[in-house]
Amino acid sequence: MRGSPFPPWIDRGRPLLAVATALAPVYLVGLVYFVGSPQTTDVGYVPKQPVPFSHALHAGDLGLDCRYCHTSVERAAHAAIPSTQICMNCHEQVLPDSEKLAPVRRSAERGDPIPWVRVHDLPDFAYFDHSAHVSRGVGCYSCHGRVDRMEEVKQVETLSMGWCLDCHRDPAPHLVPGDRLTDLDWAMQTDQAARRKIGAELQRINNIQPSTDCSTCHR
């Protein structure tokens, strides 16, 4: 019988190779979490947008409700990016010749969507449903911060798995009355103890028991 074509040290290294192969997924998960996760890369993320839209002006000074532009947030998994027509509803009359609005006018004339850049963007392996959260009383402030004070919207929370699980395990501080969902001032003007008490009562009344099972977000 012919001998092995490989040198003897190959056989001695086989147990070590088997251990390394078994642990490879753990290494990979660790690499993704610590190097590529939102917790380490995305807080403070402010992408360049095709139109210099000021949330501080529109949501703050003018008091536009978040749902006027993000029309599907209460009934769909995704909060819709505003269409060109929503912009033109106002800007056909307001500052119709502004140079800043040139991309909006071109979009309306050509029928091409404005290429807005998503700020809060979860990885494909994580499922998030806006309507499920908003319909249960999670206000905009908890995830997006004081958008009404931002000239350019930035990411203020990690959006990491641990951050989501913290809320699922203790949702009371993030639950607000239905008429306060988009009231970003309310969260700041109400002290933490009062918010927790109100949230705990809403959780009890609406029987809110968020799941922490992996399949809830990873489908």
Which of 42-46, 52-56, 196-200, 211-215 is the least confident region? 42-46
Domain definitions of the chain by residue range: 9-38, 42-63+72-80+120-216, 82-115
Instruction: List the structure tokens of 156.
Output: 């203020």
Please say if the pLDDT value at position 141 is more than 60. Answer: yes
pLDDT in tens, 75-133: 999 988 999 999 999 999 999 999 999 999 999 999 999 999 999 988 889 999 999 99
Confidence (pLDDT) at 190: 86
CB 203 within 8 A of CB 177: no
Please tell me the predicted confidence (pLDDT) of residue 12. 63
User: What is the Cα–Cα distance from 139 to 178, expressed in whole angstroms?
Assistant: 9
Q: Which of 99, 72, 95, 94 has its CA nearest to residue 83?
A: 72
